[in-house]
Amino acid sequence: MTELPTYDTHPLWRRYQPFFPEGMRCTPASTPREEYWRWRGLDVHLDRVEVPSSPLKVIVLHGAGAYGRVMAPAAVLAQRYGYETVAPDLPGYGLTRVPWRQMTYPLWIDCVCDLIAAERARDGRPIVLFGVSLGGLLAYQAAARSRDVAGLVATTLADPREKAVRQGFARTALLGSGGLWLLDKLAPLTDGLPLPMSLMSKMHRISNRPELSALVKSDRLGGGSWVPARFLRTLMSTPPDLEPEEFRVCPVLLAHPGVDRMTDIALSRRFFERLAAPKRMVVLDGASHMPTEHPGVDQLEAAVLTYLRALGDALPTTSARQAS
């Protein structure tokens, strides 16, 4: 049997560390523990940081430019404040391999929903979803389907069914309109075509620090990956189980970067304003799409901590949860 890969043998993720604030970098003590979750015939890589006393568990979701280990700064901070995290490499990204024909965006939603159920069955703790970039939309769609989450945090929220969102996502306006329209209309012919995410999207704008954007674009486990055209087609066309006007599953925190050159803040604000759930929006000053800059990253830390503490205060006591 072939041994499954680990990040010890794929160390490119370490090159991201200098771009993160010092207090968010991995150390030997804070680096997540790796494991694999067998799901639908796939070996899904998980980064786990265990905190047995944590009142809830945060599932950290990456977008199309990253993978679970790149999300480690969130785990480092969460552990410092007493919260447990799990960060999956979604199918086709990071170390989670998937047959080419199976890779679709709905597979990502299914994966997150089943991971929520598996983690709830593991220890019963409430789940909070924290999605960065496209992971924000994914977190929303998983919450809308699962309806078994206590909270939802996102750095961006935009509806890719909207023309403006498609054009904003794609590298060029023509690709965002005519190109994606053709992928939809010619799906039987185009679905299997390999497409580079770095050329299809505005991956060069994922950070306002050119060196970090270049690293993301060159990383074949994340932003430099190639995906089948069906992944982009289904990403742009999959509706949520609940429209925002119907979403009352849990409170929502939207912490959108203030200098985001990849996703216009107006697109997230429009989605946010439609939400029926209790909600709060924070603009991260000086932060780019992949927020690593001060003071925005400090504002993100403070907003998420306040949000998690409020959720924790509203939960039953640990002993009551264990008894139930």
The whole-number pLDDT of residue 2 equals: 75
Residue 9: CB atoms within 10 Å:
8
What three-state secondary structure class fits 86?
A: strand
Round the average pLDDT of the chain to a whole number and report it.
93
The whole-number pLDDT of residue 324 equals: 39
The phi and psi torsions of 321 (rounded to 5 degrees) equal: -65, -45
Helices (H) and strands (E) in the chain, counts: 13, 10
Residue by residue, DSSP assigns 22-74 as GGGS--TTTSPEEEEEEETTEEEEEEEE--TT-SSEEEEE--TT--GGGGHHH
* Beta-carbon contacts of residue 145 (< 8 Å; ≥ 6 apart): 109, 113, 240, 241
The whole-number pLDDT of residue 323 equals: 38
pLDDT band (50, 70, 90) for residue 184: confident
Q: Report yes or no on 274 lying in a domain.
A: yes
Q: Report yes or no on 3 lying in a domain.
A: no
- Inform me whether the pLDDT recorded for 318 exceeds 60: no
pLDDT band (50, 70, 90) for residue 295: very high
Amino acid of residue 262: M
Q: Report yes or no on 178 lying in a domain.
A: no
Residue 153's domain comprises 11-167+239-323
User: What percentage of the chain's residues is helix, strand, coil (to nearest 5)?
Assistant: 45, 15, 40
Q: Report yes or no on 29 lying in a domain.
A: yes
Q: Report yes or no on 210 lying in a domain.
A: no
Q: What is the pTM of this model?
A: 0.94
pLDDT digits (tens, 9 = 90+) for 46-74: 999 999 999 999 999 999 999 999 999 99
* Beta-carbon contacts of residue 212 (< 8 Å; ≥ 6 apart): 16, 19, 206, 290, 292
Angstrom distance (rounded) from CA 201 to CA 196: 9
Q: Report yes or no on 253 lying in a domain.
A: yes
Domain count, the chain: 1
Q: Report yes or no on 228 lying in a domain.
A: no
Give me the CATH number covering residue 143.
3.40.50.1820
Angstrom distance (rounded) from CA 70 to CA 53: 25
pLDDT digits (tens, 9 = 90+) for 224-283: 999 999 999 999 899 999 999 999 999 999 999 999 999 999 999 999 999 999 999 999
Q: Quick one: which of 124, 183, 178, 179 has its CA closest to 148?
A: 124
Q: Report yes or no on 68 lying in a domain.
A: yes
